Amino acid sequence: MEDGEDWVLVPYPPEKDYWSPSFSNDEDKETTQPLKLRFSEPAKHWTDAAPIGNGRLGAMVWGGVATETLQLNEDTLWTGVPGNYANPDAAKALPQVRDLVDKGKYPEATEAAFKLSGNPSDIYQPLGEIKLEFDDSHVAYDVKTYQRELDLDTATVKVKYCVGDVVFTREHFTSNPDRAIVTKISSSKSGSLSFTVSLDSKLHHHSYVNAENQIIMEGSCPGKRPQPKTDLNDNPKGIQFTAILGIQISDGVRVLQVLDDKKLKVEGSDWVVLLLVASSSFDGPFIKPVDSKKDPTRESLDAMNLIRKTLYSDLYAHHLDDYQKLFHRVSLQLSKTSMGIKGDRFHGMDNPNSSGIESSTNEISSDLVSTAERVKSFKTDEDPSLVELLFQYGRYLLICCSRPGTQPSNLQGIWNKDVEPAWDCAPHLNINLQMNYWPSLSGNLRECQEPLFDYISVLSTNGSKTARVNYECSGWVAHQVSDIWAKTSPDRGDPVWAFWPMGGAWLCTHLWEHFTYTMDKGFLENKAYPMLEGCASFMLDWLIEGRGGYLETNPSTSPEHRFIAPDAKPASVTYSSTMDMAIIREIFSALVSAAGVH
């Protein structure tokens, strides 16, 4: 934009112009690769399972035959309670670190910077699992008939296989409008569907079946981060949770039994629909779980009562309408021809409202190429449609793990199977959290950024205390890693990763970028500008006069990078790393530009 020119608002296209591959013309169907991830066998590892989610609830679908697992997540299940993210000792250690940097003693400065570190983040926790156990006949299923796919166009995972002359199908999706994980299991032969279903969790919990034949699982997260050889009973009250599994069964011959007061056994059904809802006692990052007024069991029962009698076709329609309004905004076609696939439909499963009864074994095709095979062949065929699929898969994952009103995407989006996951599954502010949201604007998913902006807002609250106490600075600061409690102090341990006070600033670049895409002056004035101003205020105080009269950051690190000092020793603490100066320049420029918007 030239000086003196006005900003021009380019409105979003009307909904009728949204791209809709499900309803494209016949010519497009011939030339466009279907947006599906295909698997030729059940998942052997968690990373082979197919992810679904609605921003708050997530599941990984393994696609097992004789036994099936849906690994579950709820985005507010974390260890711990609100913390104190200020360390007066850091302010005392800071002059020593700066003096060593000024003298060029970078290894010694690195050692001294350990005194600037804080406590580790808390840990994202798994909700549990839906476990399905089918009768013994499923062990002898026809391997050649097995199909599993994740359809990005409908955000649905589908599984299909044959046992003898019976075709079994499963469909899984997570509905945002109905706040539930929905599974439909059906068979092509009347009365041939039998299985046992239960809920389980790695967290402290208990399960029971109520009078409505719903499985209720109630449990709690640890009230503090687990430590080696720590008595787990010596914990403050942590976040409480409840998950409820409801069931709809086809009319006709059927038997529903309660086993061990915590399992349900279905016998002789045509189809079954499973509904999973969940809630927690988390009531914001500033409220201790012990003080929370939320009742997760009551909330879950209320959510279940809203949908327990809703037809599957209606649940699916609600889900599809909500999801495709986002997903269908962007198309990417890099080639006019499809490659690496002989069929573009999941045979017998094109109509998600169908029970699959019309299917027969000869409708199951064995010539569909798995996504894993397409990845391997990319070395030679460089199939552009695989690049299209990867691009849209990124958009799909963001829609699934970040929606208005949810928590922001964490290190693994929303999906996690472990109570002690890698890097705590926490939001890392030294690139990972930013990367999760880089596709949001170019991918036309601006609403999916809202949880990030809400999160920056609470970080600015806690970060003002960290800035004041740790560094005697105004404004606010956040470091390398955070959690649901909006931790803003440095991580524990080696400053090569633990000390980096630019995390909040880098996040703030998303605020200005959002405005330049949307031209939303209300957003700029009421949300973005106050956070940018506080961030810039900290940086003005953090910058000190250094060599040659220039302002510099001291101490400074380049996230998770070491260098060899002049004395040939490794170090990580220096002054004015390129990363620091680039982010500061970007924030100052954004603030100046924002101040000029009228």
pTM for the model stands at 0.91
| CA dihedral (55, 207, 271, 416) positive or negative | positive
On the 0-12 / 13-18 / 19+ scale of CB atoms within 10 A, 362 is exposed
**CA dihedral of residues 444, 154, 312, 345 (deg, nearest 10):** 170
Give me the domains of the chain, ranges plus CATH numbers.
33-80+125-407 (2.70.98.50), 88-121+427-595 (1.50.10.10)
> Mean per-residue pLDDT for 381-405?
96
Q: Give the pLDDT band of residue 406 (cuts 50, 70, 90).
A: very high
The predicted pLDDT at position 22 comes to 46
Q: Would you mind telling me the total number of residues written for the chain in this entry?
A: 598
pLDDT digits (tens, 9 = 90+) for 506-524: 999 999 999 999 999 999 9
pLDDT at 13: 52
pLDDT for 200 beyond 80: yes
Q: How does pLDDT run across 530-559, given as a tens digit for each residue?
A: 999 999 999 999 999 998 899 999 999 999
Amino acid occupying residue 130: I
Report the 10 Å Cβ neighbour count for 293.
Answer: 7
Q: Let me know: does 167 contact 160? Beta carbons within 8 Å.
A: yes
What's the whole-number mean pLDDT along residues 295-300? 98
Place of tokens 């030294």: 430
pLDDT beyond 70 at 347: no
CA distance 375 to 384: 11
pLDDT for 16 beyond 50: no
Quote the percentage of the chain above a pLDDT of 90.
85
Mean pLDDT of the region 138-165 = 96
Is residue 359 predicted with pLDDT exceeding 50?
no
- List pLDDT tens digits, range 435-444: 999 999 999 9
Mean pLDDT confidence for 375-387 = 93
Check whether 341 has a pLDDT greater than 70. Answer: no
Q: Band of the pLDDT at 10, cuts 50, 70, 90?
A: low
Q: Are strands 551-552 and 263-269 parallel, antiparallel or unpaired?
A: unpaired
What sign results for the dihedral spanned by CA atoms 18, 23, 25, 28?
positive
- Range 253-264 average pLDDT: 88
Give kind and range of the element (H or E) at residue 318.
Answer: helix 312-327
Question: What's the pLDDT band for 226 if we cut at 50, 70, 90?
Answer: confident
pLDDT of residue 33: 74
Phi-psi region for residue 349, left (φ > 0), alpha (ψ -120 to 50) or beta?
A: alpha
pLDDT tier at 348, thresholds 50, 70, 90: very low
Helices (H) and strands (E) in the chain, counts: 15, 20
